[in-house]
Amino acid sequence: MALRPYLTMALRIGAAACALAGAISLTAAGGPLSIVTADGRVVTVWEAHPRSAAGDPGSAGTAIAYSVTDASGTQIGIIAPTSDAALDLDPRLALDQTGAPVVVWTRFDGTRFKISYARLGDGGWSSFHYLTFGQGDDSLPRLGTSDTGSYLFWVSGDSRFWYAPLELSGGRLLASPRGLRLGFPRMTGRGGMRGGTDVPVNIGKSRSSQPVKDSGLLLDPSGTLVQGGSDVPIVLGKNSAHVKSVLWGVGASADCHNVVLVVPDPSEEVLHVFSFTNGATAEIDRIPVPAGAQDGFAEATASGYLATACR
C-alpha cells in the first residue's frame, strides 16, 4: 500500500505533536503520545487514519505513525509493517533499559488481534514481532516498569485482564501470561450475556476502532469474527462488552516496588485502583467514572495514585 495518505496525515498531526516537546509523557488513545529520551529527543507515536476509498470507509485501515524531534529537526514516518491494510491501534511508548524507545500496540494479524512490538534504534524502528499468541483477541496494551522489572498488561477478547513480565529491549516475554486477580467478574456489558471463548459469531462488516452493536451481534474492528459462548451469540445491551481505552490505565516508576492499575468495573461506572506487585494485586480505592472522561484519563489517574501508593 502506498505511504502517501499515511504520510500526509503524519505531517499534519506530527506538526501538532512537536509542540508537545516540553512534556515527558502525553497519552491519548488514538492521539499523539510522546516520550523524551535522555539525549533530549522527543519521540511521538499515534494512530494514522488516512482517507479511505469512496464507498468503502474501512479500506484504508490504520497505521502507527511516528515523529522524532531533536536539534536537527523532525523526522516523520510510519512504523513498518503498519502501512498495510491491517488495523493497527492504541500504541504505547516506553524507554527500555538502554534508554531506547519501544512501542507496543494492537495489530490485526489477519485472524485475531495481537499485541505487537518494535524498537527505535539509529536506523529507525525495527525488531517488529508479536508478543502474544493463541486463539483469542488481545488488545489495549499497557507498559509499566517498577524496580522489579517491566510488565506488559493487556485485555483479552472476553474483557479479562492479563499480564506478563517483559524484557523491553528485546521485546521478549519472560514468563507465560497470567490473568490478573482483580476480585470482580469479567465484563459482560450491561444487559448483556456472557459467553465462553474461542467460538466465532458470524457478523457483518465493520471498520470501527471499537466493537459495535449491529442486529444483536458484536462486530469487531476487522469485520471478521468475535468470540461468543459455546454455540451462544453475545447479545449486547447498552454498553459494549469490550473495555474502553479511556477507562484502563497503568502508572509506574522504576523507583517504586509496585505498579498502579486503574481498571473499570463491569458497569463502567466505577474505576477500581489496584496496587500490583509481582503479580499480586491489592485494591486501594474505588472512584466513580466522571461524565465526559477524556482519552488518557485512567492513565493519568493511575500516575496520580502512584505518588502516594509508591512502595
> Cβ(217)–Cβ(269) under 8 Å?
no
pLDDT, residue 224, reads: 29
pLDDT, residue 52, reads: 59
pLDDT, residue 153, reads: 98
Q: Please tell me the distance from the alpha carbon of residue 131 to that of residue 115, in angstroms, as a whole number.
A: 5
Q: Please tell me the distance from the alpha carbon of residue 30 to that of residue 219, in angstroms, as a whole number.
A: 19
- The grid cell for 307 is 505518588
Q: Please tell me the distance from the alpha carbon of residue 222 to that of residue 266, in angstroms, as a whole number.
A: 24
Q: Which of 144, 150, 70 is nearest to 303 (CA)?
A: 144
Q: Which of 68, 61, 51, 57 is nearest to 5 (CA)?
A: 51
Q: Please tell me the distance from the alpha carbon of residue 104 to that of residue 31, in angstroms, as a whole number.
A: 15
Secondary element (H or E) of residue 276: strand 270-277
- pTM flag (> 0.85): no
pLDDT, residue 50, reads: 72
Cell 485502583 maps to which residue?
Answer: 273
Domain ranges of the chain: 4-130, 188-242
Pairing mode, strands 138-146 and 73-78? unpaired
pLDDT by residue for the chain (311 residues), tens only, comes to 444 444 444 444 344 333 333 333 333 444 579 999 999 999 999 999 875 555 565 556 799 999 999 999 999 999 999 999 899 999 999 999 999 999 999 999 999 999 999 999 988 999 999 999 988 999 999 999 999 999 999 999 868 999 999 999 999 999 999 999 998 655 444 333 333 332 232 222 233 333 332 222 222 333 322 232 222 222 222 233 357 899 999 999 999 999 999 999 988 899 999 999 999 999 999 999 999 898 889 999 999 999 999 99
Q: Please tell me the distance from the alpha carbon of residue 250 to that of residue 163, in angstroms, as a whole number.
A: 12
pLDDT, residue 26, reads: 37
